[in-house]
Amino acid sequence: MDGCLPLAEDAADLAGGEFRAEVDAFLGRELTEDLRAAGRATTGLKSSPEACRAWGDKLRARGWYAPSWPTAFGGAGWTTAQRLYFENACAARDAPLLQSSGVRTIGPLIIAEGTRQQQARYLPAILSGAHEWCQGFSEPQAGSDLSALTLRAERDGDDFILTGSKLWTSFAQYATHMFLLARCDPNTRGGEGLVFLLVEMNRPGIEVRPIRFLDGECETNEVFFNGVRTPAADRIGAIGEGWKAAKTLMAIARGNNTTTGVLRRALRAARHAAAGAGDIDARLSERFAHLDLRIDLFEALERRAGSSGLGIDDAPATSALKLLATELHQAITETGLEAAPWSDFAPAKYLATRAATIYSGTSEVHRNILARAIGCP
């Protein structure tokens, strides 16, 4: 397989030769040239909806759509080493980038803290692709200070009535469901008096307005709630204690926000763009080699965090992973832009990764978390 580096080989050894051969054979067989072209053309967080659907169907049929979920819930039940091998192999072969919020964030939360009914209703629908999820946390006046949120959830019989808005909601235009935080007790502030709700996007009163970014893509949206009725039973955790579930979800999201596979894809794309723009001189070669090394180091950290069970309840560890990965992602696309400023791909990729140090918590916020963890006042 092309593009595998020493640490990826280590991961492969840990993953086992049989597993490795199975993955290689599957990718060799199923990744058509069309799918690889869609993977190569991806500048944002995920590939085109058509490519995601087609590649997702192949992974679903093989039982590999949710690599980290336990097999009891329909996942592949892979170890961290197996997942890393698979992601590196996908990156080396330009597989489409899926980044399903259902698989990566709300699914693991429902597995950890959902009721049996929620697990039975939502997990199979995430796996089949029938449900696509988006995350409704940020609001116009609540980003880094998320607990300042004001979306109102007013109790009415068995339902809540939602009034207010969310901002920067990624892929809301394609989502069938949103998990959101709302204020159910208007007399509270901060993390008190919140409820974590699972809401269908086709409920009357929800309006989605896409936001166009500098790279021309529409990945995020404004979402308005005009008296939206939604069942109170469709929540994670107790009424008034939504902040607890939100913190767990944010740790999950940060822990798998930008993975080794995403970084390897970006570096491969930057090298490809540079080669298309002319000779790669010694200085550029050295920069690419340095970025390779930084990805290897990040992979070692990701593997260690995964195998020691960090990721869900270790806030400093997930902050460190998020910070390192997103800043490295930007360094890769900056090098790509410098090497190929006039290509179609490198400038769009560069612009798309500017947001990586903002979503899932800004770099400044994560540095604050890390500083507090080592005892800074």
Our CB check for ligand FAD shows the closer of 8 and 149 to be: 149
Q: Which stretch binds ligand FAD (CB under 6 A): 120-128, 133-141, 182-190, 239-247?
A: 133-141
Tokens for 49, please give them.
């909806």
Q: C-alpha distances in angstroms, 135 versus 98, 197, 246, 252?
A: 16, 11, 10, 13
Q: Which stretch binds ligand FAD (CB under 6 A): 111-119, 130-138, 265-273, 292-300?
A: 130-138
Q: Which stretch binds ligand FAD (CB under 6 A): 135-143, 196-204, 226-234, 324-332?
A: 135-143
Those residues with Cβ within 8 angstroms of residue 259's Cβ, 6 or more apart along the chain or in another chain: 87, 302, 325
| Minimal distance, residue 355 CB to ligand FAD, in Å | 4
| Minimal distance, residue 293 CB to ligand FAD, in Å | 28
Instruction: Please report, in angstroms and rounded to a whole number, the separation of the first and last CA atoms in the chain.
Output: 49
Q: Report whether 127 contacts 74 (CB < 8 A).
A: yes
Which residue among 135, 230, 257, 326 contacts ligand FAD (CB under 6 A)? 135
Give me the 140-179 binding string for ligand FAD, x by CB under 6 A, dash otherwise: ---xx-----------------------xxx---------
Our CB check for ligand FAD shows the closer of 170 and 259 to be: 170
| Minimal distance, residue 111 CB to ligand FAD, in Å | 20
358 binds ligand FAD (CB under 6 A): yes
220 binds ligand FAD (CB under 6 A): yes
Which residue among 48, 150, 176, 362 contacts ligand FAD (CB under 6 A)? 362
218 binds ligand FAD (CB under 6 A): no
Give the whole-angstrom CA distance, residue 308 versus residue 103: 21
44 binds ligand FAD (CB under 6 A): no
Our CB check for ligand FAD shows the closer of 78 and 168 to be: 168
Our CB check for ligand FAD shows the closer of 220 and 260 to be: 220
* Residues in contact with ligand FAD by the rule CB under 6 A: 134-138, 143-144, 168-170, 219-220, 355, 358-359, 361-362, 364-365, 368
